[in-house]
Every structure is written in C-alpha cells, then in structure tokens.
Chains A and B, each alone.
Chain A
Amino acid sequence: MTAAAAFHTAADSVAPKAPAGSGVTFDRVSVAYRGAVVLKPLTMTVAAGEILAMIGPSGSGKTTALRAVAGFVRPASGRIYIGGTDATDLPPCERGLAMVVQNYALFPHMRVSENVAFGLKARGAGRDLIARRVEESLRIVGMSQYSRRFPRELSGGQQQRVAIARALAVRPRVLLLDEPLSALDAQIRRAMVEEVARLHADLPDLTILYVTHDQSEALTLADRIAILKDGELSAIGRTGELYHRPPNRFAAEFLGRANLLPVVVEGKARDHGFVGVRIGDAKVVVSGDDHPAGSRRLMCVRPQNLTLTGDAERSNSIEAELREIHWQGELTHLVAAIGESILRVVATRLPNPPARGDRLSFFFSPSDANLIVEEAGV
C-alpha cells in the first residue's frame, strides 16, 4: 500500500463538525475593508478534487478571496459554501480546512512532529491516530527523518514540506495554499512545484485552492485558473483553454506572453470555427466564431507559436521587419514590427539567425490564434 493509499483508507475523521464533502462555492461573495471594496461580488466554484489557481497582480483580491474561505475575513455580502454546506458564519476552526502560507508559519517552539500533530491534537484526536497520521504525513512529503528537529534547523524547502505535512495530517476538505512557494529560491521552487503536482496525483480527492502571482506555478499545477484584477474575476477556465484562448486582453497578457495584433474580421472561413481576418495587407485565418464581418478585434498568438519555417498552404503567414534578436541559450527571442504593432517570437532552434532589418515571414497555425474583443478585457 502506498503512503497516499494509506492516507486515504483510514476513515477516522477528527473534524466531526466540519461541513461534509469538499469543494468550494463562492456565491456573489464581496469583501470590504472600512467601506473600500477589495473583492467585488465573486461567483465561482472549485470542484471536489480540483486544483484551482487564483492568480492576479498585487491588490487583485486573490488572497482576500482565500481568506474569506478560511474565515479570516467576513464577506460584506454573499455566501461561501464548503462541500455544499453554508460555511459563511462558521469560525475558521470548524471549517475543516488547512492552510499553508508563504512564510510556512511553523510553530518555532515545537519540533517537526509536534507541528504536524498540532491540528490533530487541537481536534482532540487519540494518541494512536496522531502517531499514525504524523508518520504518514511526514512520509508523504519525505520528511520522516527530520521529525525530531525544530523548524529553525530546516532549510526553506524542508520547512515548506513540513507545513504541507501539517496541513495534510488533518485531512482537510480543502487545502488552501497562499503563495506557498514564493519565499523559496527559483531552483527549489521548481522542485517544489513538481512535488505539489506529485502530491495531488497521489491524493486526487484533495481540493486545493492555490493563490499565486506566479503564472508558471499556476500553469503547472492547476486544473483551472481564475484570473483576478482590481478585486474582480477577469477570467476563469481550464488551464490549457485559458492559456490558448484567453477571453480578454488582461488574461492574455497576464498568463504568459502574448502578441495582440489589431485585425479586422473578413468573415467566416471555410472550416467551421474559424474566421478570416485582415492584418495590414495580409489575410489570415484564426479560430473564432460569432465575430461579425467588418468588426475590429485583437488577434492573440503566443510567441512560441510563431515560426520562421512553415507550410504556406496550410499555415498563416505574416510579414514583419526584424528589429531585435536576443540569443538566450536554449531560446532565441525575436522582436519584429508589423506597421505600428510589435510581434514577439520565441524560437527554440535557429540554425541561420536572421539579421536586424530583414523582412521575415512568420508562420502560425490557425488554431494557435484567437480573437479578443478589446473592450471585454477588464
């Protein structure tokens, strides 16, 4: 039996008052501090067993939304449901959650094992159960051999593993992660992202609400991503869909780099789900529907989806003048101009690098570009 399997089989819950089931629903939840609205009415659902990443710039309201779920801020309006039960008025200790925060918040006066046992002791679990859960949780995060240490005797990555073990030990219905990796250096962060992904693969029933400002963490881990801006939900969708077909300018630019080129819609293309657009003098086909002929839109195409070689019969091709070229080891970044617009291209392999001033044809597949209504971007 794997550690994760053992983790799931014991049916000895220690949170009898917590709402049954998992999953979180925000039903028109708004939060205000002294009259200033920091989270505008938010409606969204995190399905049971799902990882939903909330991303956005500072002040976008993502942490506030998380804290509302935890019970640390009281919504000015709306209701929060955890596992289908209204948890809006429940104190934090009765919500059946666990939280991992940026600075780990391991209790410095307790050893690692005591930290992990904390939630179970607080819930009045028996000694045998506590010992078993502590051992299981530490094994899952690979920290069994450090159980007697104090937090100050651990590295940042190890402390974060212990914080995750502490959260897992209480078998939360929802795990809240508030920028859990942002205090780690880049190399450890990459390793920890992979560990969290492995953890969720081992514990597929665990619902995770993950707040981060790092889009790569969100793209790696999340089943769905919610993008917040100025206290408002700007976009939400499945990770791949949101990345490849961002619904608005903000989502396109916040989630990875994007070329947003003004185009005029020509009309429906031969293939269903595609439309023809005009960009300068060039005519290209992009994915999209319901865009009336003559309307002005932004064409979104990711830098890595543009290539210098392609099949002109099947791919789109646009001409641009090369302005800059930057070799960065594994990647080469090209910056080209189409009229007033800038086109950024990332090439993984460039045997014959072009020179500045060259007029180049850039190719992209119709399915790699979509249209955005400029006004829709919040």
Chain B
Amino acid sequence: MLVWSLSGRVLVWSFAALILGVIFVAPLAVIMLASVSQQWNGILPTGFTLEHYRDAAGGAERDAVFASLVTGFVASLLALVTGAWAALALRARAGRWGDALGVLFFIPSAVPSVSVGLGLLVAFSQKPLLLNGTTAIVFVAHYVLISAFAFGNISAGLSRLAPDYEEVASCLGARPGYKLMHVTLPLIAPYLVASFGLSFALSMGELGATVMVYPPGWVTMPVAIFGLTDRGDIFTGAALTMILVVTTLILLLGLERAPIRSAAPR
C-alpha cells in the first residue's frame, strides 16, 4: 500500500472518484439521461419516456445495430487471425527486421481514421480492386484500424510464453501445426480473447473511416448516431448510443467469462 494514513487514503480515493466521475461517468450519465428524457431545456431533463428506445429499435436504427455487429465481428475475426499469424511469424524472425516489420503494423493506428478512410476510398476505386460502394470496404477499413491492437495484444502474450512449452512439445513429437493448435494457441488464449474483445469494442465505436467509405445500405451505429445528432434528434441518438454501449458491454462480459481452460501458466 502506497498511502498508510487514513486521511491520506480518503484524500486519494476522493481524488480518484472525482477524476473517474468527471471524465468517465459524467458524459455517459448525460447520454443515459438524455435517452430517457422528454425534454432537456434546463440543467436537468424533464419528463421520463422510453419513446426514444422504441424509435431506435425499429427501421434504420435496427439495421445499424445489425451492421455494426456484423462489421465488428468480421473485422475483429480478421484482425485476430492475421494479428496472430503476424505475431507468430515475427516472433520466429526476432531481430532488427522482425522489430521493423512489427512497427509497420502500428502505422494505421497513428494515422487519423478519416485519412485511412480516404486512402481506402482512393486505393479501391479502380478495377481490379473496386470496393467503393460495397460492404467489404467497411470491413477493410475497420480491419486496418484495429489490426494493430490485435497484433500488439497477441505479441505481448507470445512474449510472456516461456519457450519450454513449445520445445518440450516438439521434442515429444508434435509437428508445428499440432504444437500451434494444442500448445501455443491454448496457452495464449486469454490474450486472443482480450484481443478479439478490444478489436470488437474499437470497431463498434469507429466513425472517422466508416463515414468516408460506408455504402448506403450499410450504416453502422456510430454513423447513424452521428446522422441523428446532426439532424438534431439528440434523444434518439442518445438511445442508440446506449444500445451501442450495452451491446458492446454484454459481448465483452461474455468474452471475459468464456470457458477458457486455465491456460495462463502458473
């Protein structure tokens, strides 16, 4: 314990609660209140209603929920597979070249997502790579933006994995594929799950690139929320935001409780 005195601990906890409350809880609380408000003209809203949720649960908004879930799932799965592949491959090529290639993966996360969207729009506007106006370009945009996080997470897991497990497995007769499926991947399973969860959460909230590339029939939740608030429909936008938050939260909690057999080495 860093702080021993009671008064010091109270002070530290109060400060932490204040920071947490102002930065994290307050914005979310405002959105939650707005989603169930009839009007909000003063400091606090007036009137309670679920009408905005009814609006958000039908028509275009429901399609946006579906589009976000599918996009998040496909992009996260792609990021998981390729991130794991890249992390495994670069671990085998440890050294200067391996490190340099690893850094390449992180470049998209350092570029504004709008720029990534613009780049994809230009790159895939000509045959034979004509993806403009298709759902696939949304998947690609999300994949490009989240793959760095998947790669980083899995690389961290692999770096913590003692080589003994894989060496003993090889010595016992396991070929590389068998070793990968039965030893390496199960041992880093918590990192794979965390990687998928983080990728999915990032994808669910992605707006900048999506707004540049989305086709008319594939509007994701952030785009729909942006559209609603842009048109002044703040309350329905808030309701859709809450649906986005709850959906993401349910999925992340579900992943956290996934029945992974105590894979972490003890």
A23 to B262, CA, bound (A): 38
CB distance from B190 to the nearest CB of A (A): 11
> B residues within 8 A CB of A150?
262
B127 located at the interface, meaning its Cβ lies under 8 Å from any Cβ of chain A in the complex: no
> B residues within 8 A CB of A72?
167, 170
A355 to B265, CA, bound (A): 56
A170 to B171, CA, bound (A): 10
Q: Is the CB of B262 within 8 A of A92?
A: no
Q: Is the CB of B164 within 8 A of A122?
A: no
Q: Is the CB of B262 within 8 A of A152?
A: yes
B264 located at the interface, meaning its Cβ lies under 8 Å from any Cβ of chain A in the complex: yes
> B residues within 8 A CB of A71?
170-171
With A101-B164, A103-B162 given, is the CB distance from A108 to B265 under 8 Å? yes
Chain A binder among B98-106, B175-183, B205-213: B175-183
Q: Is the CB of B262 within 8 A of A118?
A: no
With A103-B164, A108-B187 given, is the CB distance from A98 to B171 under 8 Å? yes
A123 to B169, CA, bound (A): 11
B174 located at the interface, meaning its Cβ lies under 8 Å from any Cβ of chain A in the complex: yes
Q: Is the CB of B262 within 8 A of A123?
A: no
A65 to B186, CA, bound (A): 30
> What sequence of 0s and 1s flags, for each residue 350-365 of chain A, a beta carbon within 8 Å of any chain B beta carbon?
0000000000000000
Interface residues on A, range: 20 to 34
Residue tally, chain B, CB below 8 Å to A: 26
CB distance from A271 to the nearest CB of B (A): 51
A208 located at the interface, meaning its Cβ lies under 8 Å from any Cβ of chain B in the complex: no
A166 located at the interface, meaning its Cβ lies under 8 Å from any Cβ of chain B in the complex: yes
> B residues within 8 A CB of A94?
173
> B residues within 8 A CB of A123?
173
Q: Is the CB of A93 within 8 A of B175?
A: yes
A97 located at the interface, meaning its Cβ lies under 8 Å from any Cβ of chain B in the complex: yes
CB distance from A362 to the nearest CB of B (A): 48
> What sequence of 0s and 1s flags, for each residue 84-101 of chain A, a beta carbon within 8 Å of any chain B beta carbon?
000000011111111111
With A93-B174, A108-B187, A109-B262 given, is the CB distance from A122 to B167 under 8 Å? no
> A residues within 8 A CB of B179?
122
B19 located at the interface, meaning its Cβ lies under 8 Å from any Cβ of chain A in the complex: no
Q: Is the CB of A122 within 8 A of B165?
A: no
> B residues within 8 A CB of A107?
165, 169, 183, 186-187
B172 located at the interface, meaning its Cβ lies under 8 Å from any Cβ of chain A in the complex: yes
Q: Is the CB of B171 within 8 A of A95?
A: yes
> A residues within 8 A CB of B165?
105, 107
CB distance from B174 to the nearest CB of A (A): 4
A326 to B169, CA, bound (A): 49
Among residues 145 to 183 in chain B, which have CB atoms less than 8 Å away from a CB atom of chain A? 162, 164-165, 167-176, 178-179, 182-183
CB distance from A159 to the nearest CB of B (A): 11
What are 9 A-B residue pairs whose CB atoms fall within 8 Å in the complex? A70-B170, A93-B171, A93-B175, A101-B167, A103-B162, A109-B186, A122-B169, A122-B178, A122-B182
Q: Which residues does B use to contact A, with CB under 8 Å?
A: 162, 164-165, 167-176, 178-179, 182-183, 186-187, 189, 261-266
Taking A70-B171, A91-B170, A122-B178 as known contacts, 6 extra A-B pairs with beta carbons closer than 8 A to each other, sorted by chain A number, are: A107-B169, A108-B264, A108-B266, A167-B172, A170-B172, A176-B171
